[in-house]
Amino acid sequence: MTNAYQDDRGNKDASITKRGTPSTMSPGTATGERSHTQDAFLIGDSMTGGYGQGPDILHDCTIAVNPGEIAVIVGPNGAGKSTGMKAVFGMLNLRKGAVRLDGEDITALSPQDRVVKGMGFVPQTSNIFGSMTVQENLEMGAFIRTDDKIVETMEQIFELFPILGDKRRQAAGELSGGQRQQVAVGRALMTKPKVLMLDEPTAGVSPIVMDELFDRIIEVSRTGIPILMVEQNARQALEIADRGYVLVQGRNAHTGTGKELLADDDVRRSFLGG
């Protein structure tokens, strides 16, 4: 639409109005939700991409976690929750966006190199060495470390997960589902990561074990390690989350603290079940 205020209706008298285009710059407004990412410790910034040459699964998706925080990615099935986490870990072809760890751009690094940089990743499935003992699993977690404090870290992990200390000589594959997850998290912690990423740590365990795992995760977080995790059990996960990301079809649908999201009508109606 033409701006009525700028229509001079044929008045070409230069003594009345000065010729030329008036100022075109006008201040914009920012009424939308603001994502606070500039000081995030780990951030996948506006990531767009998919697996291999396949179609894009993520669209401008941003996920971040700050020191001492638990960030949770939730969303309906097929929303790209795990994909979002894999993108942060470098297992996706990003066509747009960046991943930064502690201010450093790590977008082009391979997953292995990201481990060296201080990212601990616990995959959803086959996340332990089943034929090896609990202790050997932990030792393998510390494979990249060259310092001599490995035993110390292992003792800390046994403190965090007492059951692993009791079963340290047992093959990890013989343990129960919940105990295996503890081995998996323990293995990732052995690298002394700067950030821990968990892909559905409670998938396939009983509700009681799930509660215990959540307690353990909170304890790990209390040691100061930022945790980014994907969860199926949205309600419980948001209860412990400092920051929640609701993804829908690979896009950020809602972002906020866990409490905010739990209170949000939209979020509740769309997938928390009322």
Partner 1 sequence: MEPLNALVAFANFVLVPATAYGAQLALGALGVTLIYGILRFSNFAHGDTMAFGTMAVIMTTWGFQALGISFGPLPTALLALPVGIVACALLVLGTDKLVYKFYRTKKAVPVTFVIASLGVMFVMNGLVRFIIGPDDQLFSDGERFIITARDFKTLSGLDEGLAIKTTQAITVVVAIIVVAILFWFLNKTRTGKSMRAYSDNEDLALLSGINPERVVMYTWLMVAALATIAGTLYGLDKSFKPFTYFQLLLPIFAAAIVGGLGSPVGAIAGGFVIAFAEVTITYPLKKVLGYALPESLEPDGLVQLLSTDYKFAVSFVILIIVLLFRPTGLFKGKSV
Question: Which CB atom, from 177 or from 207, has the smaller least distance to partner 1?
Answer: 177
Q: Which of 17, 93, 131, 206 binds partner 1 (CB under 8 A)?
A: 131
Two tokens, residue 233: 């059990």
Q: Which of 144, 151, 218, 263 binds partner 1 (CB under 8 A)?
A: 144
Distance CA 74, CA 1 (A): 42
Which amino acid does the sequence have at 76? Answer: P
**Residue 141 interacts with partner 1 (CB under 8 A): yes or no:** yes
Q: Which of 54, 78, 130, 207 binds partner 1 (CB under 8 A)?
A: 130
By C-alpha distance, which of 90, 55, 56 is closest to 197? 90
Q: Answer positive or negative: Cα dihedral of 86, 120, 145, 170.
A: negative
Q: Give the shortest CB-68-to-partner 1 separation in angstroms.
A: 24
Question: Which CB atom, from 203 or from 272, has the smaller least distance to partner 1?
Answer: 203
* Phi, psi (deg, nearest 5) at residue 246: -100, 115
**Residue 123 interacts with partner 1 (CB under 8 A): yes or no:** yes
Contact map string, positions 77 to 116, toward partner 1, x by CB under 8 A: ----------------------------------xx--xx
Q: Which of 191, 202, 221, 255 binds partner 1 (CB under 8 A)?
A: 191
Give the DSSP H/E element, type plus range, for residue 73.
Answer: strand 70-74
Residue 227 burial (CB < 10 Å; 0-12/13-18/19+)? buried
Return residues touching partner 1 (CB under 8 A).
Answer: 111-112, 115-116, 121, 123, 126-132, 136, 139-141, 143-144, 187, 191
